[in-house]
Amino acid sequence: MALRLIVKEGEPLLEKPSRPVEKFDEKLWQLLDDMSETMYAAQGVGLAAPQVGVLRRICVIDVGDGLMELINPVITKTAGQQESAEGCLSSPGKYGITHRPKKVTVEYFDRHGNKKTAKGEDLLAKAFCHEIDHLDGILFKTHVIRWEK
């Protein structure tokens, strides 16, 4: 495993859409291992592949309940709304209040290509939305209704 450099806001790559993963091979597993190591080292709760310079639809999340690896994730259902502070490892020290759904259902593939469904509430719902946005080149600043001082 290896730490990867986290791409910072301002880099055009972060605002480009990512392509789906097609091969569930050792190269993917290496990337996933590196992404989780990089996320934990940076004390983040989520990291998307574009943030390590790879335009593929992959993200890792751990809000304290264990590591999730999501490949080609799609939000299939949302409910409710939450208003809370949000940040991003690509925007160190910047936090803003956003509106996100309170409950989010995602469909995705695991590292072996098995289709899965997961439901998240509160922080996990926010992480699903934030990380999947990254795969479409959308940064959390577009959702901020006011910046934290």
Q: Of the two residues 97 and 113, which places its CB atom closer to Ni ion in the complex?
A: 97
Answer whether 42's CB lies under 8 Å from 51's CB: no
Q: Of the two residues 6 and 71, which places its CB atom closer to Ni ion in the complex?
A: 6
- Tell which residue, 44, 56, 136, has the closest CA to residue 90: 44
97 burial type by CB count under 10 A (0-12 exposed, 13-18 middle, 19+ buried): middle
Tokens, residue 116: 């899965």
For residue 58, state whether it binds Ni ion (rule: CB under 5 A). no
**Least distance (Å) between residue 28 CB and Ni ion:** 21
Stretch that binds Ni ion, among 53-61, 66-74, 88-96, 141-149 (CB under 5 A): 88-96
For residue 45, state whether it binds Ni ion (rule: CB under 5 A). no
Which listed residue (11, 26, 83, 131) is catalytic?
131
**Least distance (Å) between residue 14 CB and Ni ion:** 9
- Tell which residue, 52, 54, 58, has the closest CA to residue 6: 52
37 carries an active-site annotation: no
**Least distance (Å) between residue 61 CB and Ni ion:** 11
For residue 88, state whether it binds Ni ion (rule: CB under 5 A). yes
Q: What share of the chain is helix, strand, coil (3-state, %, to 5)?
A: 30, 35, 40
User: Can you tell me the distance from the alpha carbon of 87 to that of 55, in angstroms, rounded to the nearest whole number?
Assistant: 21
Which residues would be at the binding site for Ni ion (CB under 5 A)?
A: 88
Active site (catalytic) residues: 131
